[in-house]
Structure 1
Amino acid sequence: MTVPADTTPPAPAPDGADEGGAQAARERQSHVRHELRAPLAVIYPLLSLLVDGESGALSPQQREHLVVLERNVERLEALVTGVVDSGWSDCSAAPAKREQISPLDLAESVAALRRLDRSGGPAVIVKRAAPPTPRAWADADDVRQIVAALIRNATTYTPSSGLVSVSMAPADDSGTVTLEVADTGPGMSPEELARAFEFGFRGEAATRVKAPGLGIGLWVCRRLAERSDGLLALASEPGGGVRATLTLPAAAS
C-alpha cells in the first residue's frame, strides 16, 4: 500500500474574498492536508510489512486485529483523499449519500474497535432499548465519522475509571432521531462550549492532557451533520462530563 502524493491544488478563494485572507486560508489548508497525510505515510508501509508476515509469523488473533487495522487505515486514507479532493473547507457543500441507517449500529462498530485497544481508557457502553432500533436518513460514512470522533473525544478526556455511554432516542414528533454520547470526564466551561465548534479551537483539557489534533474535529463533524440536515450539539457543566447529541432526520418507517 502506498499513500498518494498530495498534488491537490489549494481550494480557490470565494468570490470577493480578501486576497490576504484567501492566502491565509490556502496556507491553512495546505498545513492541514500535510498533517492529515503525514501519519498515514508512516502507518501504511509498517502495516503492510506486518500483514505480509515480513516481521514474523502471526497468530490468528493477531492477523484478525491487523485486518481490522488495515481496513480502517484504508478507510481513513479514502476519507482524507475525499476531503482533500473536494476542497475540505467546503465539505458541507458536497451532496450527502443518504440512505436508511442505524446510527446505533455504527456506534457499536466503533466501540468494538475501541475495545481492541489495550492501552487502557474508560469503558465504552452502547445502550440499546427495546427494538426496533431507531433508524435515520443520513450519509452512513459521515455519521460513522462523527460518532467515531465523539467517542474518541470522550475517551480522551475521561479517566480510565470513568464511563462513556452511547444511547439513542426514538423518532419524536419532529421527525428526528437523536444519538447521544455522554462521558464522565471533567466537563467543559461555558466559554469552552461557546467556542467548541470553532475551527482550530482547543480547550484547556486538550492542553492539559496533551491530546493530539488540530482542533478541527468538531468543526468538521458539525458540517458533516449538516450535510444530512442534522444537528450536532454539546452540553456540559464543569466536573459533570460532556453530552454530545447528534440529531438526524428519521427514516421513513
Structure 2
Amino acid sequence: MKGRLLRWVHSIHAHMLAMALGVIITLTAFSLSILFLIHPSEKTPVSVYEVARLMRGQPILRDAPVLRIRDSADAPRAMSHASERLLAGMLADRLGLPRSDVRLYLNRGDQQRYDQFTREIALYGRDGQVDPFIVGTFTAAAKQPSGQWRMVTRSARAPGTIWNLTGQDTLLFGLLFIIPLSMWFSARLTRPIRSFAASVEQLDAGAEARPVPVKGPTEIRMAAVSLNAMQARIAQFVQERTSVVGAIAHDLRTPLSRLHFHLAAAPDPIRSAAQEEIRQMEQLISTTLDFVDNESRPRVMEPLDLGLLVEGLVDDFADMGRDVAIADAAPITIHGDMILLRRLFTNLIDNAVKYGDAARVAVRTEGAMAVVDVADNGPGMAADQLARAFEPFFRGEPSRNRRTGGVGLGLSIVQSAAHAHGGHVTLAARAEGGLCACIFLPLPA
C-alpha cells in the first residue's frame, strides 16, 4: 500500500494535480494580498449638505472620512460632466453662492454611477430636499470672499491606483505569476522525458548502449526500467549471435585447409574448380569474421585527420592498379575509430571498383558534418534494391553476380560503422550513371 502510494505521488497525474493546486493557491494568494495588503480603506459617504458644512469650516456628525481641505489661489478648471454640474449646483444652493463660483469633480469611474442621480435630482430637486451622497473620489471647490478657492478633496480609488490597475489587468497580473510557475513545472516534468528520448535515440543509432537514468515521474521510471531490461536482453542476444556466427566461421577454416591438402593430388580441372569454390568460401568466412569483429570489438575513439585517412586508402588502391582517384581531400579532424573507419571506406571503394570499374572520392564538410563521397560509373541499382542495400547478406542481382561480387555484408558493415560514429550513410543514383555513396560523420563540437 505504501509503495503504491509513493508511485502515485511521483506519477504524472499527481504532478498535473499539484500544478493545478499550485495555480489555484497562487491566484488565491495573489487575490488575498491585493484585498488585504493594498486594498484602500473604505470611505464613508458624504452628502452634499456635509460638504457645504466642511466648506464653511463646520464639523460633521459622521465617521470621520479621510478628507483634505485647503485653499488655493488658482481657479479650478471647468466641469465637463452633467452629473458634476448638477451636484455643483446643489452645493452652490447650500452655500448661497453663484453657481459659477462652485465646482465639483468626480472620479472618471464614478461619473457613470452618478448618471442615475440625474433623473432623481430632476424629480426630487423641486422641493429642495434632495441631498445625495457622494461616494468615492471627489473634489469640491468654492470661491471665498477673499478671492481664493477652498478645496475639499477625498481620494479613494483613483484610476491610477494599484487597486484599479489590478482590477483592470487581472489577466496580466495572473500571467506574471502563472507563466514562471508553469515554465518551471514543465521543465521539471520534461527533463527526464528528454533524457529518456535521448537514451532511446542513442540505442537506435547503434552507439554503445548506456542505461537510461531511472528518475522523474513514476511512469518515466517504469519505462526506463523496462527499456534498460530490454536493452540488456538485446545486447546479450547480439553478443550470443555474433559469438555463434564467429565461432562457426572460424571453425570452417579447418576443414577448408584439409580440402586444400586433399586436392593437391587431384587432376588439374577438378583441383582448379574446387579451389575456386574454396576461395569463395574463404572470402565469405573472412567477410563474416569482419562483420562479427565490427559488432563486438570495443571502439577506440581518437582524433584523426579524415582527409589523410581517405587519401591513404585511395593511394593503396591506386598502387594495386585500380582506377581510384581523389578529387578533393580537405583536412578535417574528427573523433573516430581508425580500424573501423578504414574498414568502412575500404568496403565502399572496393565496391565502387568491383561494380563500377572506377572510384572517385571527395572529402568535404556540410554544416556540422564531415562528408565523404564515393562515386562509381557502374550500372547502378534499382530503387527497390537501394532500399534493401544495407540489409545483411543482401546482394543486388543479376548485375552483381557471385563471381564478381561478395556475400552481401559489405554495406551492412559500412552502415554499422557509420552509426557507431553517430553518423549515417546514403546511396543515390548519379545522373550520369552509377552510384554515389555519401558518408556523414559528425564534427567535434
What range describes the TM-score normalised by the shorter chain of this pair? 0.5 to 0.7
Structure 2 match to 1:180? 373
C-alpha distance 32-211 of structure 1, shift in aligned 2 (>3 A): farther
Say if 2:303 is the partner of 1:100. Answer: yes
Q: What CA distance in whole angstroms lies between the structure 2 residues aligned with 1:90 and 1:138?
A: 14
Q: What CA distance in whole angstroms lies between the structure 2 residues aligned with 1:110 and 1:247?
A: 18
Say if 2:425 is the partner of 1:229. Answer: no
Q: Which structure: larger Rg?
A: 2
- Secondary structure at 1:240 match in 2: coil
For residues 205-224 of structure 1, the aligned pairs below 5 Å read 205-207=399-401, 210-224=403-417
C-alpha distance 24-94 of structure 1, shift in aligned 2 (>3 A): closer
Say if 2:353 is the partner of 1:143. Answer: no
- Secondary structure at 1:187 match in 2: coil
Aligned length: 182
Say if 2:364 is the partner of 1:169. Answer: yes
TM-aligned CA deviation for residue 206 of structure 1:
1.6
Question: Which amino acid in structure 1 is aligned with residue 415 of structure 2?
Answer: R
TM-aligned CA deviation for residue 188 of structure 1:
0.8
Contact 1:187 1:242 in 2 (8 A): yes
Q: What CA distance in whole angstroms lies between the structure 2 residues aligned with 1:153 and 1:176?
A: 24
Equivalent of residue 326 in structure 2, options 120, 126, 144: 126
Structure 1 match to 2:442? 249
Structure 1 match to 2:383? 190
Contact 2:430 2:436 in 1 (8 A): no
TM-aligned CA deviation for residue 136 of structure 1:
1.9
C-alpha distance 95-25 of structure 1, shift in aligned 2 (>3 A): closer
Contact 1:138 1:249 in 2 (8 A): no
TM-aligned CA deviation for residue 190 of structure 1:
0.4
Q: What CA distance in whole angstroms lies between the structure 1 residues aligned with 2:385 and 2:307?
A: 28
Which structure has more relative contact order (CA 8 Å, sep 6+)? It is 1
TM-aligned CA deviation for residue 238 of structure 1:
8.8
Gaps (5+ residues) in structure 2? 1-231, 258-285
TM-aligned CA deviation for residue 105 of structure 1:
1.5
Question: Which amino acid in structure 1 is aligned with residue 326 of structure 2?
Answer: V
- Secondary structure at 1:170 match in 2: strand
TM-aligned CA deviation for residue 127 of structure 1:
1.8
Question: Once the two structures are superposed, what CA deviation does each residue of 1:177-232 show, in whole Å capped at 9, x if it has no partner?
Answer: 1111011111111011011001100112221x722422111111211111111112
Structure 1 match to 2:317? 114
- TM-score, with length taken from structure 2: 0.36
Gaps (5+ residues) in structure 1? 1-13, 42-76
Q: What CA distance in whole angstroms lies between the structure 2 residues aligned with 1:179 and 1:105?
A: 12
Q: What CA distance in whole angstroms lies between the structure 2 residues aligned with 1:179 and 1:157?
A: 19
- TM-score, with length taken from structure 1: 0.60
More helix by share: 2
Question: Once the two structures are superposed, what CA deviation does each residue of 1:77-133 show, in whole Å capped at 9, x if it has no partner?
Answer: 9x987x58xxx2871x65422122222211211121112224xx5x2111226x5x1
Structure 2 match to 1:57? none
CA RMSD of aligned residues (A): 3.7
Question: Which amino acid in structure 2 is aligned with residue 111 of structure 1?
Answer: V
Q: What CA distance in whole angstroms lies between the structure 2 residues aligned with 1:25 and 1:108?
A: 32
